[in-house]
Each structure stands twice: as C-alpha cells, then as structure tokens.
Amino acid sequence: MITRLYKEFNKVFDSNDDIRVYFAPGRVNLIGEHTDYNGGHVFPCALTLGTYAAVKDRTDDKICFYSMTFADDGIIETGISDLHPSAADGWTNYPKGVIWAYEKRGMKLTHGMDILIYGNIPNGSGLSSSASLEVLTGLILKDTFGFESVSMVDIALIGQDAENNFNGCNCGIMDQFASAMGKKSHAIFLDTNTLNYEYAPVKLKDAQIIITNSNVKHSLVDSAYNDRRRDCENALKILQKTCGIRTLGDLSEEQFEDAKTALSDPVLYKRAKHAVYENQRTIRAKNALQNNDIPLFGKLMNDSHTSLRDDYEVSCTEVDYLVELAWKLPQVLGSRITGGGFGGCTVSIVETAAAEIFQENLRKAYQEKFGLNAEFYLADIDNGARRLL
Ligand code: ADP
Ligand code: MG
C-alpha cells in the first residue's frame, strides 16, 4: 500500500521526497445503534479498512488535496486561512472542517501541505469513511504542527465538531472515537455521556464477524437522521418533566416503563423506547462478551435489529432481507443492521467454518430478489489512527 501511495504521490505532485504516511480506520459498530446522541453506550471496533494519507510540507500557504478515490476531481486547493464550506470543494470539506476546528481552538497552521488520500472503505455504507478522513486529518495536523496538547480523544472531538458544524451532519461521537481510539482485537465500550470507555477483547471462539454491504443507500438518510434526533429530543423533554434525567441513556427499562404514559405520541414513544432499550442491550452485550456468552451476544444483536426496524424505523427492505437470510442459517449467532441505516451494511457473527456458506447463500438469494450484488468484508479489528512512516 505504501509503495502505491509513494508512486501516486510522485505522479500527482512531482516529487515524493520527505513524505509522511498516516492511516485512520473505519469502524463497525457491534451494537448500540443511534444511542450515541442519546447519552447511551456504543460498542464499535476499528477495522483494517480505512483511509491513508501521504503528506508533504509546502513552503507557501496552500493546501493541495488529491484523493485517489475521487481522482476525477483532480487537485483541490485551499488557502490555510480561507476555510469556508463550499459545495465546489467536494470531499475536501471534511479535511477543511478539521483545520477550521483546530483554528477555532487557537491552533493555527503555519504553512501549507500537499495531501494525497487513498481509502478502501466503501463510502456511505455505514462504516464511517467520513469520520476516518476527519480523524486522519486531525492526526496529520497534530503531528505536522506539533500540537502536543491534543490527545487522540481530542482528535475525535475535533472531527465530530468538523462534521457537525462545518459539514452540517449532526452525528454523535461514536465514529470519530472508534477511528481515533481503536485497539487491535478489541471493541470499545464507550459511554457517550461521559466519554468513559473500556476495551473488551473480541473473542468469538469458533465464530467471526462478517460485514455484508447491501450496496443500497436510500436518499432519506440525512433528513431521517435529523428527524430521529428531533424525536428523541422531544421525547426527552417530556420525560424530564417527571424524571430527573439528562439523557435517554440515563433511564433503565423499568424507569422507562413507569414513565412512558407521558409519551402520548406513538412515534415519540417508539423512538425513546429504542434509545432506552438499545442502551441497556449494549451494556448486556458487553457483559455477555466478557463472559464468553456469544449466543447471548448474538441474540442481543438480533433484538437490536428488530428494534431498529420496528421502533426506530431506520432499516429498509433490502437490509431486512439480508438480516433475515442470516437469521435462518443455524451457523449464524447474530445479525443486524449497522451504521446510520436506510441501506448500508449488516454485521453478523458467523461460525468460522460456515463463512463461505454464509456468503454464498446471501449473495445468491439477495441477487435473485433484488438484482443487487452484496459484498462481504471479513472484519479484522485493528488499532486506531496512527502514523505509518
Ligand atoms: P460514511 O458512512 O462512509 O461515512 P458519508 O456520506 O458520511 O458516508 O461520507 C462519505 C464521504 O466522505 C464521501 O462522499 C467523501 O466526501 C468523503 N470521503 C470518504 N472517503 C474518502 C476518500 N478516500 N477520499 C476522499 N473523500 C472521502
Ligand atoms: Mg459519515
């Protein structure tokens, strides 16, 4: 990979002396979906799939971006003090947003850079390619300009700030946190209310994680995401009249059952129910994994899917079908939609000996029903963002 980056850098920028190479992973969330903006827990792991950058300092004030993934866009230039979101700047709004978020915190760039990007995360599939690009940029800036006081958790927060306030996507902290803080062979049990976290070894005995990409992306993603956030905020306001809570994640299932009559709107009730129950499921799932109870872990994943499908209503026919196909196989311990929803990927725990059968079975049935090609990634859990060279 690094040789390829060097070669491409030379082609695009005419020289590859003194370049530095960085990597930030994508992530898959095992359980705890749509809980990260509700003060709940999440349980993601960083992947070996991710985004790479080759970087060379410039003596002037220009940043010249080039992505092998968006080669048709060519080099996109920005001045280091000229940071405004602009549709014409395409994908570079993500790294620009990170520079903007550093500047907001009083950390200014003192010179420009040539930055070449390559990524192997399928974009828009729920594996967080945008967060990995943000965390990657955060790491490049920390390393290049010696911003020693910036921790990896700060890099995650800066990335989220860039995504929320520069790019207008109101995401929670999970994606950037997983990319910045991932640990090989471990999932991160993160309390999004306090940012306290704990690593849990992912030991699945004779099973493995398989990610299935439905290769569909429905257009409602952004608007539906904002609707869900608003529904949850409204439900929280109503519940706060009777319960002393800061977030939906503060409620146990019993407390929610006692308070739920206040939610007379059935939609608000369903959204809040998902947020509360999914958070409790995530806590149980972490314990199940630590107790080596993989069947219970799998069952909680299945329950998570049902809740996302019926109560949170963020699944879609294609993804439901992939999950149902997985559920029918006795070698599958658990399967659910992962990521924001309305398409994208599923995550399944599959007996290793049946990995091939799983893929064949889903590929064939999915193709027959929707004429679509499902893609599979055998997830390897890797460390968080780092400098490679
Ligand atoms: P995801 O679920 O993958 O994060 P998003 O729609 O949030 O989906 O982010 C995808 C966007 O992130 C792309 O359209 C592009 O703007 C940016 N991006 C991701 N990977 C790359 C890359 N390798 N090179 C350039 N831009 C990228
Ligand atoms: Mg994204």
d(CA 264, CA 235): 10
Mean pLDDT per 10-residue run, the chain (389 residues)? 95 95 98 97 98 98 97 96 92 98 97 98 94 98 98 98 93 96 98 97 96 90 88 97 95 96 97 98 98 98 98 98 98 97 97 98 98 95 97
Task: Please give the pLDDT value at position 219.
Answer: 77
Task: Please give the pLDDT value at position 81.
Answer: 87
Q: Is 135 in the pocket of ligand 1 (CB under 6 A)?
A: no
- 14 catalytic per annotation: no
Sheet of 41-42: strand order equals 41-42, 186-191, 197-201
Q: Is 48 in the pocket of ligand 1 (CB under 6 A)?
A: no
Q: Is 123 in the pocket of ligand 1 (CB under 6 A)?
A: yes
Hey, which of 129, 169, 347 would you mutate to test ligand 1's pocket, going by the most ligand atoms within 8 Å of its Cβ? 129
Residue nearest to atom 7 of ligand 1 (CA): 130
Q: Ligand 1 centroid vs 244 CA: distance in angstroms?
A: 39
The ligand 1 atom at the shortest distance from the C-alpha of residue 51 is: 23
Q: Is 94 in the pocket of ligand 1 (CB under 6 A)?
A: yes
Task: Please give the pLDDT value at position 16.
Answer: 86
Q: Is 213 in the pocket of ligand 1 (CB under 6 A)?
A: no
Q: Which of 36, 114, 161, 175 is catalytic?
A: 175
| The overall pTM is greater than 0.95 | yes
Hey, which of 123, 347, 377 would you mutate to test ligand 1's pocket, going by the most ligand atoms within 8 Å of its Cβ? 123
Task: Please give the pLDDT value at position 200.
Answer: 98
Q: Is 51 in the pocket of ligand 1 (CB under 6 A)?
A: yes
Residue nearest to atom 15 of ligand 1 (CA): 91
Hey, which of 22, 130, 135, 167 would you mutate to test ligand 1's pocket, going by the most ligand atoms within 8 Å of its Cβ? 130
Task: Please give the pLDDT value at position 95.
Answer: 98
Q: Ligand 2 centroid vs 123 CA: distance in angstroms?
A: 8
Residue nearest to atom 12 of ligand 1 (CA): 130
